[in-house]
C-alpha cells in the first residue's frame, strides 16, 4: 500500500516530478481538482493523465524490501485489493480537495459508510446517527450492523444535544448527512462535532450531496464519507465511494473511547494502529481501514473506476456551479407555480433550517436537489413522472442529466404512510436532481409534465 505523510508528499511509488522540482500547491478547488496530490506524470511514458494501472499485483522488491512492504514500513503497492497507483492518485487528489489528510477509495458509497463505522465500532458498541440519512445507510445501520452486534441510536438532527443524550461509554461515532433529502435541511455540523469532542467521539459526515459547497472539516467533522457515484463521478457511469480523514481529530487522546485504534491488533503482531501510524508518519484511521477492513472485506475500487473518478474530479468545481445555478432557476420557477403547494429547497427555508443553510452552504449555492409537492397528491405525482420527456425517471442523484423520482411510490414505498410523512415524504412529493442541460429546457420539460399531472 502506498503511505503518504500528507497528500503533498511524493513517494517512491507514485510517479513524481524529477528530484528538485517542487509541486505547485494551491488552495483553490479548481486547481486542486486538476493537480492535487503527488502525481505529475508517468515516469516511464511521460503520460500526463493518470494511467489505469490494470494490474492485480506488483513486482516486489528483494526479500528485504518485501518484508518492509508487508510490515507497512515502506511505501509501495502489493496487490490491487489493498492499493493501486490509479486508486492512490485519486485518493490523494480527493483528500486534498476536501481539505483532509488522507483518503481511502472503495467500491461503493455503501462500502464507504460501512467502513467508516466498522473502523471504530465492534460488536457490543453503538453509534448515534441522525435520522436524516439515505435509505440504504438506514438499512445498513438498522438491520445489517445490528446483526453484527453494533447498535445505532437514531436521533433528530434539529436537536444537537440529542446526540449527547444518546451517548454512553460504548458510543464510538456520530453519523450524519450534510444535506439529506427529502427535507434538504443542512445538518448542524459544528454543534454536533463539538459535542463529540467533549466525549472523544468522531463525527462522520456523508457529504455526497454537497461536495465543495459544504466543507465538513472546517466545522470539526473528523471523517467525511462520499458516494463518489454521484457528483464526484458526475456522469452516471461508475459506482464508487471514499472515506477521508481530517488529520486533526485527536484519536490518540481517547484510549477507552476508541479501542479499534488503541488496542493491540492480533492480526498485525499485536501492534496498535496509532503506534503503527505514528512510527511511519501516517494517519491511523485510514491506515487501519485499508490494512484491516479492505484487506479482510475486500470492497476495493477497480483501477478503471478510480480513473473515472479522477476524470470526474477534474470538472467537479465547474459542474457543481452549473448544477447549483440550474437548480436555483428550477426552484424559483416551481415556487410560483399554481399546481405546486410547496418547494423544498434550502433557499426557501425558515428558522433554524435557514440559519444552518446560511451557516454551512457556500454563499449563493443551495445544492442541485429540489423537492416539490403537487397539490393533487399521489396520483398527480405519478402522472407527472410518466409525462417527463427530458428528465430520466431513476433512483439516483448527481448525474449530468436531470433526474426525477416520486419517492412515495418508489424509494419510500415500503414505509407506512405515517413513517413516510416522518421522513418528509408527502404523497405528492417529487424529488428532482437537476442536471447540466440548458435551464430553459429543464423548465420546459417540468412545465409540460406538471400540465399533464
Ligand atoms: N450516501 C448517500 C447520501 C447516497 O445518496 C447514496 C446512494 O444513493 C449512498 C450513500 C450509497 O452510495 P452507493 O450507491 O455509491 O453505494
Concatenating the DSSP letter of every residue in 328-381 gives HHHHHHHHT-TTEEEEE-GGG--HHHHHHHHHHSPTT---SEEEEEETTHHHHH
Q: Indicate the CATH number for domain 317-452.
A: 3.90.1150.10
Residue 19 has pLDDT above 80, yes or no: no
Between the CA of 34 and the centroid of ligand 1 the distance, in Å, is 25
Q: Please, are residues 273 and 3 in contact by the beta-carbon 8 Å criterion?
A: no
Q: State whether the beta carbon of 305 lies less than 6 angstroms from ligand 1.
A: no
From the options 3.40.1690.10, 3.40.640.10, 3.40.50.300, 3.30.360.10, give the CATH code of 7-304.
Answer: 3.40.640.10
pLDDT tier for residue 224 given thresholds of 50, 70 and 90? very high
pLDDT for position 17: 57
Dump pLDDT digits (tens) for 49-105. Answer: 999 999 999 999 888 888 888 888 888 999 999 999 999 999 999 999 999 999 999
β-strand pairing of 241-245 with 223-227: antiparallel
Between the CA of 134 and the centroid of ligand 1 the distance, in Å, is 7
Atom of ligand 1 nearest to the CA of 230: 15
pLDDT tier for residue 387 given thresholds of 50, 70 and 90? very high
- State how far the Cα of 8 lies from the Cα of 95, in Å rounded to an integer: 10
Q: State whether the beta carbon of 420 lies less than 6 angstroms from ligand 1.
A: no
Q: State whether the beta carbon of 211 lies less than 6 angstroms from ligand 1.
A: no
Dump pLDDT digits (tens) for 134-146. Answer: 999 999 999 999 9
- State how far the Cα of 332 lies from the Cα of 302, in Å rounded to an integer: 41
Atom of ligand 1 nearest to the CA of 239: 15
pLDDT tier for residue 287 given thresholds of 50, 70 and 90? very high
Q: Is 244 left (phi over 0), alpha (psi -120 to 50) or beta?
A: beta
Instruction: Specify the higher pLDDT residue, 241 or 2.
Output: 241
pLDDT tier for residue 4 given thresholds of 50, 70 and 90? very low
β-strand pairing of 369-374 with 429-433: antiparallel
Q: Give, in degrees to the nearest 5, the angle at Cα 191 between 220 and 353.
A: 115
**Length, in residues, of the chain:** 453
Task: Point out the least confidently predicted range of 20-24, 147-151, 189-193.
Answer: 20-24
- State how far the Cα of 259 lies from the Cα of 429, in Å rounded to an integer: 43
Residue whose C-alpha cell is 470538472: 315
pLDDT tier for residue 5 given thresholds of 50, 70 and 90? very low
- State how far the Cα of 205 lies from the Cα of 56, in Å rounded to an integer: 32
CA distances from 344 to 183, 287, 351, 432 (A): 7, 40, 14, 10
Q: What percent of the chain clears pLDDT 90, i.e. is strictly above it? A: 85
Task: Point out the least confidently predicted range of 18-22, 111-115, 161-165.
Answer: 18-22
Structure-block grid coordinates of residue 200: 472523544
Task: Point out the least confidently predicted range of 188-197, 200-209, 230-239, 376-385.
Answer: 376-385
Between the CA of 237 and the centroid of ligand 1 the distance, in Å, is 14
Dump pLDDT digits (tens) for 160-193. Answer: 999 999 999 999 999 999 999 999 999 999 999 9
pLDDT for position 22: 79
pLDDT tier for residue 318 given thresholds of 50, 70 and 90? very high
Between the CA of 27 and the centroid of ligand 1 the distance, in Å, is 28
Please give the model's pTM, rounded to 2 decimal places.
0.95
- State how far the Cα of 40 lies from the Cα of 8, in Å rounded to an integer: 12
pLDDT tier for residue 2 given thresholds of 50, 70 and 90? low
pLDDT for position 219: 98
pLDDT for position 11: 43
Task: Point out the least confidently predicted range of 9-13, 216-220, 415-419.
Answer: 9-13
Q: Please, are residues 425 and 407 in contact by the beta-carbon 8 Å criterion?
A: yes
Task: Point out the least confidently predicted range of 61-75, 253-267, 435-449.
Answer: 61-75
Q: Where do the CATH 3.40.640.10 domains begin and end in the chain?
A: 7-304
Q: Radius of gyration (Cα) for the chain, nearest Å?
A: 22
Q: State whether the beta carbon of 227 lies less than 6 angstroms from ligand 1.
A: yes
Residue 9 has pLDDT above 50, yes or no: no
Structure-block grid coordinates of residue 99: 481539505
pLDDT tier for residue 1 given thresholds of 50, 70 and 90? low
Task: Point out the least confidently predicted range of 69-83, 237-251, 336-350, 409-423.
Answer: 409-423
pLDDT for position 14: 53
Give the residue, out of 130, 230, 305, with the most ligand 1 atoms within 8 A of its beta carbon, to mutate for a pocket test: 230
pLDDT for position 413: 84
Q: State whether the beta carbon of 241 lies less than 6 angstroms from ligand 1.
A: yes
Average per-residue pLDDT for the chain:
94
Q: Where do the CATH 3.90.1150.10 domains begin and end in the chain?
A: 317-452
Amino acid at each position: 500500500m502506498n503511505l503518504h505523510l500528507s497528500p503533498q508528499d511524493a513517494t517512491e511509488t507514485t510517479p513524481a516530478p524529477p528530484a528538485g522540482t517542487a509541486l505547485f500547491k494551491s488552495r483553490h478547488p479548481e486547481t486542486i481538482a486538476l493537480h492535487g496530490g503527488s502525481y505529475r506524470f508517468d515516469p516511464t511514458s511521460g503520460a500526463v493523465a493518470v494511467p489505469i494501472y490494470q494490474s492485480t499485483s506488483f513486482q516486489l522488491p528483494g526479500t528485504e524490501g518485501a518484508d518492509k512492504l508487508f510490515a507497512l514500513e515502506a511505501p509501495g503497492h502489493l496487490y490491487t485489493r489493498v492499493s493501486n497507483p490509479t486508486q492512490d492518485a485519486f485518493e490523494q487528489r480527493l483528500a486534498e480537495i476536501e481539505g483532509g489528510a488522507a483518503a481511502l477509495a472503495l467500491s461503493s458509497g455503501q462500502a464507504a459508510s460501512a467502513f467508516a463505522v466498522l473502523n471504530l465500532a465492534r460488536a457490543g458498541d453503538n453509534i448515534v446517527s441522525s435520522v436524516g440519512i439515505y435509505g440504504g445507510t438506514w438499512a445498513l445501520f438498522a438491520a445489517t450492523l445490528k446483526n453484527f452486534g453494533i447498535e445505532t441510536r437514531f436521533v433528530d438532527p434539529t436537536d444537537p444535544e440529542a446526540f449527547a443524550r444518546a451517548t454512553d461509554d460504548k458510543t464510538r461515532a456520530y453519523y450524519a448527512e450534510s444535506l439529506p433529502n427529502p427535507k434538504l435541511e443542512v445538518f448542524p455540523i459544528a454543534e454536533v462535532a463539538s459535542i463529540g469532542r467533549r466525549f472523544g467521539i468522531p463525527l462522520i459526515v456523508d457529504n455526497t450531496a454537497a461536495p465543495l459547497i459544504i466543507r465538513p472539516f472546517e466545522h470539526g467533522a473528523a471523517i467525511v464519507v462520499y458516494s463518489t457515484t454521484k457528483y464526484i463521478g458526475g456522469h452516471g457511469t461508475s459506482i464508487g465511494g471514499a472515506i477521508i480523514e481530517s488529520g486533526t481529530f485527536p484519536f490518540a487522546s481517547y484510549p477507552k473511547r476508541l479501542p479499534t485504534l488503541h488496542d493491540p491488533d492480533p492480526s498485525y503482531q499485536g501492534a496498535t494502529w496509532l503506534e503503527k501510524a505514528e512510527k511511519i508518519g501516517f494517519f491511523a484511521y485510514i491506515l487501519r481501514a485499508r490494512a484491516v477492513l479492505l484487506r479482510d472485506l475486500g470492497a476495493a475500487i477497480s483501477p478503471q473506476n478510480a480513473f473515472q473518478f479522477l476524470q470526474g474530479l477534474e470538472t467537479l468545481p465547474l459542474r457543481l456551479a452549473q448544477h447549483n445555478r440550474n437548480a436555483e432557476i428550477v426552484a424559483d420557477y416551481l415556487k410560483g407555480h399554481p399546481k405546486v403547494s410547496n418547494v423544498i429547497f434550502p433557499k426557501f427555508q425558515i428558522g433554524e433550517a435557514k440559519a444552518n443553510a446560511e451557516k454551512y452552504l457556500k454563499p449563493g449555492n443551495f445544492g442541485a436537489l429540489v423537492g416539490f409537492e403537487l397539490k393533487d397528491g399521489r396520483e398527480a405525482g405519478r402522472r407527472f413522472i410518466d409525462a417527463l420527456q427530458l428528465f430520466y425517471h431513476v433512483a439516483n442523484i448527481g448525474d449530468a442529466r436531470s433526474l426525477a423520482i416520486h419517492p412515495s411510490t418508489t424509494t419510500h414505498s415500503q414505509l407506512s404512510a405515517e413513517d413516510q410523512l416522518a421522513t418528509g415524504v408527502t404523497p405528492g412529493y417529487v424529488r428532482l436532481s437537476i442536471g447540466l442541460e440548458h435551464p430553459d429546457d429543464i423548465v420546459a420539460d417540468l412545465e409540460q409534465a406538471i400540465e399533464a399531472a
